[in-house]
Structure 1
Amino acid sequence: MKNKKTSNYQTKPVKSLAFKVTAETELMKFLIEMLPHKSRTHIKSLLTHKQVFIDGKPVSQFNKSLTIGQEVTIGKGNNRTEVDLPGIKIMYEDKDLIVINKAEGLLSIATENGTDDTAYSLLSKYLKAQHYSNRIFVVHRLDRDTSGVMMYAKSQQVQELLQEAWNTNVTERTYLAIVHGVPEKEKDTISSYLRESKAYKVHSSKVSVPGGEKAVTHYETLMSTADYSLVKVNLETGKKNQIRVHLQDIGHPIIGDKKYGSTLNPIKRLGLHAWVLAFTHPITKKELRFQTELPGKFRKIFPNALKDQDQPKE
C-alpha cells in the first residue's frame, strides 16, 4: 500500500447496503449469503452493471477474493460520483467514523488564514457527495508535516464520545520517527511539562510551570546507522508537538524538524509518521487496530526496516 499524493476514490451510492467481511471468502459466495432473497441471476446483474463496491471501488469479478475487514456495498442505483482525495487513503469507514492514512504536507483542519485543501475539507466533500446532509467532525489532529493514521467522527455524538473518553478508549498510539544520532538508552521514558509560547512554539520544563501540562512519551530504538536512528514512540499523553519536543529534549531531534533542533533533512520531509492507532469503537464497542506501512521516504535511510510488518493490520 503505497501512500500516493493523489488517489481517486469512488463514493458509495446514496442508497446502498453495506456489509463487513468477517471471514475470507469469494465475492459471489459472500453476496449470496448476504442477499438470500436475491437470485444468482440478479446478483450477477449487479456485478455486470458495477453496482457492487469493495471499499468504495466498483468490481464486476464474481470470484474476487475478500479479506477480513473489507466492506462490500451493494448500490441500488446508478447515482455515483467521484471525489478526488489527494493525500488521503481511506483505511476504514462505517456509519459512525472514518479512519484515514494522511500524507505529509496535508493539514488536518484549516488554519485561520488557510485556503488550501485539508483532510477535513476533502472528507467533508467526499461525504456530502453521498448525501448533502452528511458532516464530518474532528476528533484529534496530526501536524501538517506528520503523515499517518488518524480518524474523524461522522456525528457530534460520536465525536464527544471519542474525545471525552480518549485516554480510556484509545489503547495504542504508536509513531515512527527518524532522529539525529543514536540515543544513549535503547528505550526510555521522557516526562516533562509543556507550555506553548505566544510564538506558537512549545517549550519543555522538568518542573511544573504556569500554564504547563505534563507530557509523557515512551520510546524504543528499532535500528540505527552511523548518523540516524529509527525510533518507535508511544504516547501516554497527547500534547501539541509532544514527540518533537521530547526527542529534542534528549538531544536527538527528528530529521527535517528545524523548529525543534534539526539541522538535516535527508528525506525532504519531517521524519515523523503516525504508525498505529488502536481504539474501542464508541458505538459498537469493538476493538479496532489500524497499522500503516513505513513511508517510502523513510526507506531511503532504513531500506530493510519492519520488513516482517509490511502488511498493514486492522
Structure 2
Amino acid sequence: MIRSFPMNNMENRFTLQFEVQQEMLLREAIALWGISKRTLTAIKFDGGEILVNGVERNVRHVVVARDIVTIIFPLEEASDGLAPQYGELTIVYEDEAFLVIDKPAYMSTIPSREHPDGSVANFVLGYFQQKGLPSTVHIVTRLDRDTSGLLCIAKNRHIHYLMSVAQQQGNVHRQYEAIVSGEAISQSIVEPIGRKETSIIEREVRQDGQFAHTDVEVIKYGRLNGCNVSHIRLTLHTGRTHQIRVHMAYVGHPLVGDGLYGGDQQVINRQVLHCVSLTFQHPLTKEVLSFRSELPQELSNLLK
C-alpha cells in the first residue's frame, strides 16, 4: 500500500492517503490504518472527508484493488483554557505528524493551577499558529516540570491515538539519566505506584497501586558535596506519574535535588533527571525513529 500524509493546501488539514490492495468495504479499509471509531465519527460529522479516487463516499462503499482512499481530517481547535504563547522551542525533529522537542527544566508540560502559563503546550500552540497549522497540542510523552529532555507531541488526534496504543503495547522506549544519593545497584524495580492518601501530588509504592516497572543500570559512582552518589541510566517500561522518583526513593536512593521524595537539595533545587533517549516506530511510515539528548550543562557539571 502507498501511504502519505501531505497537508491539504487550502486549510493545512492533516490528510492520509493509501492504495487499496483488494476488494472490501471502505470502512474495513479504513480500519486497517488504525483509525478509531471516535476519530471516524469526527471525520464524518465535524467537517472531514473520505474520498475514493477523489470522490466522496460513505463507509459502506465497496473499494477494489488500486483504488486510492484519501482521508481528510477535520480542523482541530485548542481548548479555551490553553492560550498560545510565543518563544523559542528546541526542536529535535518535525514532520507532518510529530514534533519532538528537548524540554528545559523548570517548564511544565501542560498548564496547571500553580503554573497556568509558560508550559510546553502554550509554546507549541503558539508555534502551530505561527505556521498556520489548525491543530491543538497532543502530548504523547510527558515530563515533570523540573525534568529535562526529550518530549514527543502529535500534531493530530489520529497520530495521538496510534501512539497511545503503541505506548500501551510497550513500543515507545524512553531512557533517562539521573544522579541519586548513595551507591545504587543495577536492578529491575517492579513495584506498584499509587497516589499518597495525604497528598494530591505525591505518589508512593503501594500494593493497591498501578503496575510499574523501571530498570536501573549504574554508569559510575562518584562523590558530590562530600557524599556518595551514583550516576545511573533508567529504562521505563511503564509511565506512571513520578515513577522514577518514587522507585528510586523506595529503594533508598532518592534523586539528588528531589525535595519531594527526600533528595539532597544542597547543590541543586530540582531533581537531577534528564530524558536522554526516545525511540519509537513511526505509525505511518513504519520507520524506526531514535533521538538522543545530552545532559544539560547544569547536570553534567555535577559529574565532574
TMscore range, shorter length: 0.5 to 0.7
| Distance (Å, rounded) in 2 between the aligned partners of 1:15 and 1:132 | 8
Residue pair 2:170, 2:237 contacting (<8 A) in 1 also: no
More displaced 10-residue stretch of structure 1: 277-286 or 112-121: 112-121
In structure 2, C-alpha distance between the alignment counterparts of 1:168 and 1:193, rounded to whole Å:
18
Which residue in the other structure is 2:241 paired with? 240
Unmatched segments (≥5 aa) in structure 2:
1-9, 13-84
Deviation of 1:298 after TM superposition, in Å, equals 1.7
1:222 aligns with 2:214: no
TM-score by length of 2: 0.67
Structure 1 stretches lacking a partner, 5+ long: 1-13, 17-82, 304-314
Equivalent residue, structure 1, for 2:123: 122
Partner of 2:149: 148
Pairwise CA distance, 1:132:
5.6
* Residue 205 (structure 2) aligns with: 204
Q: Distance in 2 between matches of 1:241 and 1:97?
A: 25
Question: CA offset at residue 112 of structure 1?
Answer: 3.8
The one-letter code sitting in structure 1 at the alignment partner of 2:116 is T
| 1:102 maps to amino acid | K
Shift of 1:193: 1.2
Matched position secondary structure for 1:179: strand
Matching of residues 1-314 of structure 1 within 5 Å: 84-86=86-88, 88-112=89-113, 114-131=115-132, 133-168=134-169, 170-183=171-184, 185=185, 187-198=186-197, 199=199, 200-205=201-206, 208-209=207-208, 212-226=209-223, 227-303=228-304
CA contact 1:92–1:99 (8 Å) conserved in 2:
yes
- The alignment partner of 1:213 has SS state of coil
Contact kept? 1:267, 1:298, Cα under 8 Å: no
SS of 1:247's partner is: helix
> How many pairs are equivalent?
217
Provide the alpha-carbon RMSD of the alignment.
2.1
Q: Percent identity?
A: 30
Do the aligned partners of 1:107 and 1:144 also contact (CA within 8 Å) in 2? yes
Once the two structures are TM-superposed, the CA of residue 181 in structure 1 deviates from its matched residue by: 1.5
Structure 2 distance, partners of 1:240, 1:104, is 17
User: Scaled by the length of structure 1, what TM-score is found?
Assistant: 0.65
The residue type paired with residue 247 of structure 2 is H
Distance 1:121 1:90 in 2: 15
Give, as a single letter, the amino acid of the residue that structure 2 aligns with 1:141.
R
Deviation per residue, 1:171-218 (Å, 9 max, x gap): 4210001111111x3x1111111111351210103xx32xx1111110
